[in-house]
A and B are shown apart, each in its own frame.
Chain A
Amino acid sequence: MVGPTASLTPLSRADGSASYQCPSTGSNILGSVNAPIELPGRRDALRPEDATVEVFVKPGTAPGGVGERYVEGIIKNMLTKLILGREKGYARRGVVITLAIVGGESVGRGDSYLTLLPALLHTALLALLSASVPLSMTFSATVLAVDASGKITREPSPKEAATATSLHVFAFSSNGHLLLSESQGPFEFKTWENVHQRALAICHGTLARSSDGDVAMAEDVDGQPLEGALREVVEDKIHLDYAWKIDAP
Chain B
Amino acid sequence: MVSPLILLPGDEIPSEYLPSTNSAPLRLGAGLRLLSQPSSNPSTPPSHVISATQSALLSTDTKRNAVSLLSTPNRRYIPTPGDLVIAQIHHSSPDYFHCMVTPQAPQAMLGQLSFEGATKKTRPMLKQGDLVYARVLSIGLGAGAEVELTCVNPATGRAEPGGLGPLTGGMVFDVSTGLAARLIKASSSSAEQQDGVAGLVVLDELGKKLEKAGGFEIAVGRNGKVWVDCANGGDSAIKATVAIGRCLSTIDEHELSPTDQRKLVTRILREMKIES
Contacts and interface: CB of A to CB of B under 8 A. Distances in A.
Contacts of B54: 129, 132-135
Interface residues of B, number: 38
Interface in B62-116: 70-76, 78-80, 104-106
B6 A238 contact: yes
Contacts of A239: 4, 6
Interface of A: 8-9, 12, 15-16, 34-38, 48-49, 82, 84, 87-89, 91-93, 129-138, 173-175, 231, 234-235, 237-246, 248-249
Nearest to B35: A136
* A-B CB proximity, top 9 nearest: A244-B199, A137-B10, A89-B78, A135-B9, A134-B53, A48-B143, A132-B75, A132-B71, A15-B76
A248 B199 contact: yes
B255 A240 contact: yes
A34 to B, nearest CB: 7
A132 B57 CA distance: 12
Nearest to B102: A37
A37 B178 contact: no
Contacts of A88: 30, 78, 80, 139
Given A15-B74, A131-B76, A135-B54, 4 more contacts: A129-B8, A132-B72, A138-B9, A245-B4
B75 to A, nearest CB: 4
Contacts of B73: 241
B34 interface: no
Contacts of B178: 241
B42 interface: no
Contact of A234 (B55, B74, B105, B142): B55
A138 B142 contact: no
A18 to B, nearest CB: 11
Given A16-B72, A248-B199, A136 B10 contact: yes
Among B54, B106, B178, the one with the most A-chain Cβ atoms within 10 Å of its Cβ is: B54
Interface of B: 4, 6, 8-11, 30-31, 53-57, 59, 70-76, 78-80, 104-106, 139, 142-144, 178, 182, 195, 198-200, 255
Given A132-B71, A138-B9, A244-B199, A36 B142 contact: no
Nearest to B105: A38
A16 B9 contact: no
A38 B143 contact: no
Contacts of A133: 54
Contacts of B31: 132, 134
Contacts of B11: 174
Contact of A235 (B6, B9, B30): B6
B193 to A, nearest CB: 11
B9 A137 contact: yes
B232 to A, nearest CB: 31
Nearest to A239: B6
Given A48-B143, A91-B142, A242-B57, A131 B198 contact: no
B55 A245 contact: no
Contacts of A175: 10
Contact of B198 (A34, A91, A173, A245): A245
A129 B55 CA distance: 6
A82 B107 CA distance: 28
Contact of B104 (A8, A37, A137, A243): A37
B104 A38 contact: yes
A82 B144 CA distance: 23
B104 A245 contact: no
6 contacts: A16-B74, A92-B143, A129-B8, A131-B74, A137-B10, A174-B8
B208 to A, nearest CB: 21
A36 B76 contact: yes
Contacts of A84: 53
A16 B75 contact: yes
Contacts of A48: 143-144
A48 B143 CA distance: 6
Given A132-B54, A242-B57, A89 B79 contact: yes
A48 B104 CA distance: 18
A121 to B, nearest CB: 15
Nearest to B69: A132
